[in-house]
Amino acid sequence: MTKEPRPAAPPTSPGRRDPGGADTSPPSCLTPLSSLVLHPPLTLDRETSLGEAAARMVEAQVSAVLVGEATRPEGIITERDITRLVAEHRGMAHARPLGRVMRGGVVTIGEGSTTGEAVLRMAEHGIRHLLVVSGEGTPRGILEERDLLSGDTASPLAVASAIDTSTDATALGMAHETLHRLIRRYTSEGIAAVRLGRIVAGLRDRLVTRSAHLALQTMPTPPPSPFAVGVLGSHARREQFFATDQDVALVLSDASGDIPPDAVETWFARFGETLAQMLVNAGLPPCPHGIMPSSPAWRRPMRSWRAVVDDACRTPDAPAVVTLSILADLRGLNDGFDLCPRLTDHLCHRLATTSLPLRLMGREAVRHAPKLGMFNRLPVIRDGKDGEYIDLKRCGLFTLMQGARALALERAGASAPGTASHSGEACGGVTSAVDTASRLATLRHMGIPGGELGDDIAHAWEVLLGFRLRGQVAREAHAQPVDRQQKGPSWATEAMMTDEKALHDATGTTSLVMAAAPSSCGTSPAKATKGGGSALLDVGALAPLEREGLRRCLIVVDTFASWLEHRFGLHLIG
């Protein structure tokens, strides 16, 4: 993203009045923080009393004070903190030293960042103040929530506040609709799709978390065991914009004490149904593949999840590889017992013992590389008067996403304790970020792939995701269905149905997922858009430079596919 030029004259503080008395408009999400007038940081030492700090804050007209050394603050105290402490400790609060009541670990952001990134940072940490620092880490000023809100109900912080204060699914649904307005606005302002995806995911995380909280309030008894709510798919990878369904699972702790397993299952079955319905009412419809907390297959204790992973690694047939691919993206929300990371670590350990599942994942990435025409022409879909289209998901994005996933899992397995190449790094260090952009960045840092290809792949991902976002916004504006991210590899539909039926006949249950097979790049737009199952881009609407940029990105994807074929030795497995 090109940084906006610094204005010649000092700008006024956003959301406040300039010296002439005129109201200033809210800053664009692309406004660099270096162009804003920030509140100079007020810093007090650890022994300063809370009462004196409050007086100094009033005198300086600030809403927060840093604690510790001016160049290396240890903590922060805000107006809200003081109000809470006075309510809790009454008259005794005033004499307490800041070092004992401060919130440690000041969240910072570089002055080269944008206001959009500042909004994301606040939303991720649930805070209202950020310490802006220079490139050398020197404090420059404190950015407040009100500097960014300015009465804007479609800002991420306003949506986050609406979600956090919702008392029922109707209120959550209204906040979710506001999120769609935010997506349209930020897209028009030119925010990068990767950055916007992270903002949207952070807000949807809050929506799912709040829904779980409200669902818990309806339960007659407390949970019989600790549990985690996990998100999957494009939501977990922070690549979802306009939500199309819910991809939510429950990971239950095995520690349920003396409570019988049947009673535990009965409680969580009711909770899962309530949560799934809460999400439906909030604007996230049921997943057509059943990836919901109401489904027993996606609501399991840890020992059962581990058994699923073990079985899938032991017999990596089509449904098993789909399952492993989905679970590789699992991301826990408010997971205080680290249940989701522990399940991910188990998956990495098991994949370290067998190479076939990863090779099959890599094969699926290669299978869906774009089929460029002669002279590297775009693989467009022609459908008479409908013009020319390209399916970005099935002819570009899927190859990058699946390839990055397989490579990240390969490296995580290689660093697992007990493997020959273990270097002392935990599996989670390689797989903690499941979004494709972060996976590619981590791999690039490791030299995978080496040379310029790694940089080209990361750039191609950002460009293609941006094109996909633009297409979604255009279709959403015309009330057309937006696309769903593919749930897994594209095994033939008939084979999948056969495997599913055989598994059902043998066990009496359905497998974890029945993934629909994506169509080829030659499917007509009419068929491809049916049910919202594509990411079509109108090639005819692109400017010549955009079309050339798209072509170059698909060439990079095709080169990446060839590299993956060699990396995983796919010629040996057919």
Domain boundary among 349, 366, 387: 349
- CATH number, residue 80: 3.10.580.10
Better-predicted residue by pLDDT, 151 or 313: 313
Answer yes or no: is pLDDT of 246 > 70.
yes
Verify that 129 and 175 share a domain, yes or no. Answer: no
Q: What is the pLDDT of residues 100-145, one digit of tens each?
A: 999 888 999 999 888 878 877 887 777 889 999 988 888 989 998 8
Specify if 14 maps to a domain.
no
Strand partners, 75: 67, 104
Mean pLDDT computed over 534-563: 90
139 and 253 part of one domain: no
In this prediction, residue 17 has a pLDDT band, given cuts at 50, 70 and 90, of: very low
Domain presence at residue 13? no
CA–CA dist 158, 217 (Å, integer) = 24
Q: Are 54 and 114 within one domain?
A: yes
- Tokens of residue 353, six digits: 């013992």
Whether residue 16 lies inside any domain: the answer is no
Of 349, 366, 398, the position where a domain reaches its end is 349
- C-alpha angle 521-435-500 in degrees, rounded to nearest 5: 55
Render pLDDT for 355-398 as a digit per residue (tens, 0 to 9).
999 999 999 999 989 988 767 788 877 655 567 888 898 889 99
Range of the domain at 174: 153-349
The answer to whether residue 11 sits within a structural domain is no
Do 336 and 389 fall within a single domain? no
Burial call 327-341: b when 16+ CB within 10 Å, e when fewer: bbbbbbbebebebbb
Mean pLDDT of 557-562: 96
The answer to whether residues 205 and 290 belong to one domain is yes
Q: What is the CATH number of the domain that holds 341?
A: 3.30.460
Q: What is the 3-state secondary structure (H, E, C) of 144-204?
A: EHHHHHCCCCCCHHHHHHHHHCCCCHHHHHHHHHHHHHHHHHHHHCCCCHHHHHHHHHHHH
Higher pLDDT: 256 or 428? It is 256
274 domain residue, yes or no: yes
Q: What is the mean pLDDT of the chain?
A: 81
Number of domains in the chain: 3
**Both tokens of residue 529?**
């858009």
What SS3 state is found at 439?
A: helix
Same domain, 320 and 466: no
Among 228, 278, 223, 218, smallest CA distance to 251 is for 228
Residues 459 and 330 in one domain: no
Domain termination residue (choose one: 150, 180, 212): 150
pLDDT band, residue 427 (cuts 50/70/90): low
More confident call, 527 vs 11: 527
Same domain, 93 and 166: no
Query: In terms of domains, do 400 and 444 share one?
Result: yes
> pLDDT tens digit string along 430-461?
556 899 999 999 999 999 998 899 999 999 99
Asked if residue 184 belongs to a domain, the reply is yes
Q: Based on the domain organization, do 84 and 51 belong to the same domain?
A: yes
Residue 49 is assigned to a structural domain of this protein? yes
Same domain for 454 and 400: yes
Q: Is pLDDT at 546 greater than 60 in this prediction?
A: yes
Cβ 366 vs Cβ 565: under 8 Å: yes
Which of 189, 146, 241 is CA-nearest to residue 31?
189
Asked whether 457 and 400 are in contact (CB, 8 A), the reply is: yes
Mean of pLDDT values over 491-513: 34
Rounded CA gap, 398 and 515, in Å? 14
The C-alpha atoms of residue 555 and residue 534 are separated, in whole angstroms, by: 21
* Percentage, residues of the chain above pLDDT 70: 79
Residues 366 and 467 in one domain: yes
Comparing 90 with 81, the larger pLDDT belongs to 81
User: Which one has a higher pLDDT value, 24 or 78?
Assistant: 78
pLDDT average, residue stretch 270-277: 98
* Per-residue pLDDT at 28: 65
Distance CA 439, CA 423 (A): 19
The answer as to whether 17 is a domain residue is: no
Cα dihedral value 524, 526, 532, 537, nearest 10: 60
Residue 148 reports pLDDT greater than 50: yes
Q: Predicted confidence band at 483 (pLDDT cuts at 50, 70, 90)?
A: low
